[in-house]
Structure 1
Amino acid sequence: MSLYTFAKNVVAAILYPVYRIKVVGTENVPDNGPVIICSNHISNFDPPVVGITAPRDIYFMAKEELFNNTFLRGLLTRLHAFPIKRGMKDRNALRQALNILEEGNTLGLFPEGTRNKTGEVGKGLAGAGFFALRSQAYIVPCAIIGPYKPFKQLKVVYGKPIEMEQYRENKVSAKDVTQVIMQEIQKLIDENR
């Protein structure tokens, strides 16, 4: 058993009962081929929650500072995280994310870039649109519907993949594609509150 699978099982055993997690729509995540799961971001717990509820192993970007510690770097790497420099274009992180997708894996993104503590969906950054346009990945919107309160239900909803071909053909901007993704996440929240 890999460290990723072991960690996923341990975290699931803790978080499922504490937050009474209900998962909807995992059948919307394709079984194979590249996938980008785009979720709203309301808590530091979002990455592990998406990680334990998604039917596939997910690679996440994490802030570069976490990789300064040798032990933590080794652990995060084995848990499918890779570093990104925040607040600037990080070509290495972009290349690594595209390679992950080219290999047919799943990339987890929080397009807002930072937590939105109001619970509302914030404005997305262009990064999600960039990866959606530059890869042939399925784009799966995901809504985390809180709050994160012990023994109150937390819902995680996976929507149908967003059809990207028209946006790629019409050379729509990354920023506009991210906006489409954010609208789909908002729709999932509205339909499943």
Structure 2
Amino acid sequence: MNLYQVAKTVVYGALSPIYRFDVHGTEDFPKEGGVLVCSNHIHALDPPVVGILAPRPVHFMAKEELFNAPILKTLIPKLNAFPVKRGMSDREAMRKAIQLLKDGNVVGLFPEGTRSKDGVLKEGLAGAGFFALRGDAVVIPTAIVGPYKPFKRLKVIYGKPMDMTPFREQRASADVVTAAIMAEIQKLLDAHK
């Protein structure tokens, strides 16, 4: 068992007694090939929760500062995270995400870019559409329905895969694709309130 699997088991063991996970849609999650998981963002625990409940290992971008911390700089890459410079266009991180998708991996992304303080889905950033178009992957819209309160149910819904082929054929812009992804996330949120 690799470190990712060990960490996944440990984190699940730590969080599942506190939050009653109610997971939907894993049966539709592609078993192979590139997958871009796009989720709403309501809490700091969203990345580990989406990661531990997904049926396949998920790679997340993490702020570059974490990779400079003494213990974390060795640990974080083994947990499938890769650095991104915040507040600017980080071409290296973008290339890494696209390559991971093209190599048949799962990449997790929070298109809003930051947490929603009121739980209402905000407008997505164009990066989600960019990765969806360039990464040769399907998109799994994902909804986290809180609240993150001890012993309350926390729903995570992995939606049906979105095929990006029609968008590529229409030469749709990254903004148009992001808007389509956000609309699917909103549908999941509405259906699972």
TM-score calculated relative to the size of structure 1: 0.98
Aligned to 1:47: 47
- Structure 1 position 162, deviation (Å): 1.2
Deviations 1:42-101 (A, max 9, x none): 000000000111000000000111111242111100000000011111010011111111
Unaligned runs of 5+ in 2: none
Q: Secondary structure at the residue paired with 2:56?
A: coil
Q: CA deviation at 1:159?
A: 0.5
Q: Shift in Å at residue 164 of structure 1?
A: 1.4
Residues matched between the structures, number: 193
Residues 99, 135 of structure 2: 8 Å contact kept: no
In the alignment, the residues of structure 2 paired with residue 117 and residue 12 of structure 1 have an alpha-carbon distance, to the nearest angstrom, of 25
- CA contact under 8 A between 1:146 and 1:153: conserved in structure 2? yes
1:36 matched to 2:36? The reply is yes
Identity rate of aligned residues, in percent?
59
C-alpha distance in 2, partners of 1:55/1:146? Answer: 21
Unaligned runs of at least 5 residues, structure 1: none
Distance 1:11 1:135 in 2: 29
Corresponding residue for residue 124 of structure 1: 124
> SS at the partner of 1:114?
coil
Contact 1:28–1:140 (8 Å) recurs in 2? no
Helix, strand or coil at the partner of 2:17: helix
Q: TM-score, structure 2 length as denominator?
A: 0.98
Structure 2 distance, partners of 1:69, 1:16, is 28
Equivalences for residues 1-193 of structure 1 within 5 A: 1-193=1-193
Q: CA deviation at 1:157?
A: 0.3
Alpha-carbon separation, structure 2, partners of 1:103 and 1:91: 18
The answer as to whether partners of 1:40 and 1:185 remain within 8 angstroms in 2 is yes
CA distance in 1, matches of 2:101, 2:70: 26
